[in-house]
């Protein structure tokens, strides 16, 4: 949904929902009955890249645009509550600072900022639950995981990349692909078709030419992140051993983050909801699906594994409706709007429960990445 919806709703909109990623930001304005009045996608607005003032400036432009697109007349605050789930909002102190900055804008009477992984968790959980409880792993440009116990205790990773022990996501995958491709090309490592496919992706003669283009600044991180998933899965589908090992490692990383988070909170696997989200995990690759099924069957038998069926901005909106005490029909209406593509984002089928037999778990579609020597899940 990118423009006006032809809806005229009396009263102040209920929720200004924001999902702020590293590379893109989704904003939606939600009515009290769950109607999506308008939504749009803009550039990334991470405070890690732009600072809090710069990030709020980007968000401000998007808020003005989404308000203009909605057929509502608003005097004063745009909505009753702002629910902002933001990449780069990794520490409690950062949540406090970003929440204060949001409240200072006057966009709503109340506002809460939290890490964007909480939006993935809420997007994948049933609406009937008394409180949000479960585990979410998001895999987009990077990888992160949060867990919330039934008592409301929270475990989170620092999620600052390789510095804090993280591996995966588009950027981690891109670096692993290039590492293996170069070593396969010059003879230091096993042969692999990754190099030829990387070169073809960028229209260059060899993977060495790609490396030189990176070195000279003609290709950047964004280009590599976009390259990594399609190249990896294309090569892995041919049976390339190096590519297959990368796919397997990504699955192991997703699993070990989830299982470790559960262990930190003393959560048992049986019946625990584990939500997978982010572009890589929602896009759909059968090889990764099989690897994830096997990893979770061993590491978390009896857990309920889901791929978030709506975009993370819907999770942010649902958190906002929770905050306001909205009824179940409002949440269902919001979900239906995003799941049917009204938001302009791609959904993914919810997964069936994972039981003790790996064959009972089928992941309809997911995406992935990897390297080697991951801790077994």
Q: Which two tokens stand for residue 164?
A: 């804090």
More confident residue, 148 or 7: 148
Q: What is the pLDDT of residue 373?
A: 42
DSSP string computed for 22-65 = SSEEEEEEE-TTS-EEEEEEEE---HHHHHHHHHHHHHHHHHHH
* 376 pLDDT more than 70: no
Q: What is the pLDDT of residue 140?
A: 87
Least confident of 74-83, 113-122, 352-361: 352-361
More confident residue, 346 or 125: 125
Contact 345, 145 (CB under 8 A): no
> Beta strands 273-277 and 36-43: pairing type?
unpaired
The Cα–Cα gap between 362 and 320 comes to 32
Q: What is the pLDDT of residue 287?
A: 95
Average per-residue pLDDT for the chain: 87
Q: What is the pLDDT of residue 73?
A: 66
Contact 77, 108 (CB under 8 A): yes
Q: What is the pLDDT of residue 2?
A: 42
- 3-class DSSP assignment, residue 90: coil
pLDDT tens, 228-242? 999 999 999 999 999
More confident residue, 225 or 72: 225
Average pLDDT of the residues in 121-144: 90
β partners of residue 154: 148
- C-alpha distances (whole Å) from 59 to each of 50, 107, 120, 310 are 11, 11, 20, 22
pLDDT tens, 301-359? 999 999 988 899 999 999 999 999 999 999 999 999 998 754 433 222 222 222 222 22
Neighbours of 188 (CB within 10 A): 9
Q: What is the pLDDT of residue 283?
A: 72
Q: Which residue has the tokens 């600044």?
A: 217
- C-alpha distances (whole Å) from 330 to each of 35, 214, 320, 327 are 7, 48, 12, 6
Quote the DSSP letter at residue 266.
T
Instruction: State the pLDDT confidence band at 9, using cuts at 50, 70 and 90.
Output: very low
What is the distance of C-alpha 67 from the center of its chain? 25
Contact 354, 312 (CB under 8 A): no
CB environment 197-230: b (16+ within 10 A), e (fewer) = bbbebbebeebeebbeebeeeebeeebbbebbbe
What is the distance of C-alpha 135 from the center of its chain? 13
pLDDT tens, 147-172? 999 999 999 999 989 999 999 999 99
Question: Right CATH number for 15-115+311-339 from 3.40.630.30, 3.40.1010.20, 3.30.420.40, 3.40.47.10?
Answer: 3.30.420.40
Q: What is the pLDDT of residue 129?
A: 74
First to last CA, the chain: 39
Instruction: State the pLDDT confidence band at 74, using cuts at 50, 70 and 90.
Output: low
Contact 364, 293 (CB under 8 A): no
Residues of the chain with CATH 3.30.420.40: 15-115+311-339, 118-195+221-309+348-377
The Cα–Cα gap between 318 and 129 comes to 12
Question: Right CATH number for 118-195+221-309+348-377 from 3.30.470.30, 3.30.420.40, 3.20.20.70, 1.10.1520.10?
Answer: 3.30.420.40
Q: What is the pLDDT of residue 346?
A: 29
β partners of residue 86: 20, 115
Within 8 A by CB and 6+ apart from 118, the residues are 85, 136, 146, 315, 319
% pLDDT > 70, the chain: 86
Q: What is the pLDDT of residue 216?
A: 98
């Amino acid at each position: 949904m990118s423009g006006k919806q032809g809806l005229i709703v009396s009263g102040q909109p209920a929720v200004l929902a924001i999902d702020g990623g590293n590379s893109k930001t989704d904003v939606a304005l939600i009515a009290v009955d769950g109607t999506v009045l308008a939504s749009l996608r803009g550039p990334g607005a991470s405070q890690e890249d732009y600072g809090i003032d710069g990030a709020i400036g980007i968000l401000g432009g998007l808020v003005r645009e989404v308000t203009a697109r909605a057929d509502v007349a608003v005097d004063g605050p745009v909505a009753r509550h702002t629910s902002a789930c933001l990449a780069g909002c990794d520490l409690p102190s950062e949540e406090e600072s970003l929440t204060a900055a949001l409240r200072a804008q006057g966009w709503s009477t109340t506002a809460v900022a939290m890490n964007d992984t909480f939006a993935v968790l809420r997007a994948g959980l049933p609406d009937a639950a008394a409180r949000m409880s479960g585990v979410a792993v998001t895999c987009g440009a990077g990888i992160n995981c949060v867990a919330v116990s039934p008592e409301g205790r929270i475990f989170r990773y620092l999620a600052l990349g390789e510095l804090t022990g993280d591996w995966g996501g588009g950027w981690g995958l891109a670096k692993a692909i290039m590492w293996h491709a170069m070593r396969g090309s010059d003879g230091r490592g096993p042969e692999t078709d990754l190099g030829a496919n990387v070169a073809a992706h960028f229209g260059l003669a060899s993977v060495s030419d790609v490396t030189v283009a990176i070195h000279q600044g003609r290709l950047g991180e964004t280009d590599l992140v976009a390259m990594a998933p399609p190249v990896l899965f294309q090569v892995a589908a041919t049976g390339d051993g190096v590519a297959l090992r990368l796919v397997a490692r990504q699955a192991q990383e997703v699993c070990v983050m989830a299982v470790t988070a559960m262990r930190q909170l003393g959560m048992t696997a049986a019946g625990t909801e584990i939500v997978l989200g982010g572009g890589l995990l929602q896009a759909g690759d059968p090889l990764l699906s099989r690897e994830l099924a096997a990893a979770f069957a061993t590491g978390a038998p009896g857990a309920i594994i889901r791929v978030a069926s709506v975009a993370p901005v819907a999770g942010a909106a649902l958190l906002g409706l929770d905050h306001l005490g909205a009824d179940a029909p409002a949440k269902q209406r919001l979900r239906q709007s995003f799941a049917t593509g009204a938001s302009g984002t791609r959904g993914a089928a919810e997964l069936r429960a994972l039981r003790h037999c790996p064959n009972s778990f089928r992941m309809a579609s997911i995406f992935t990445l990897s390297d080697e020597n991951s801790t077994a899940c």
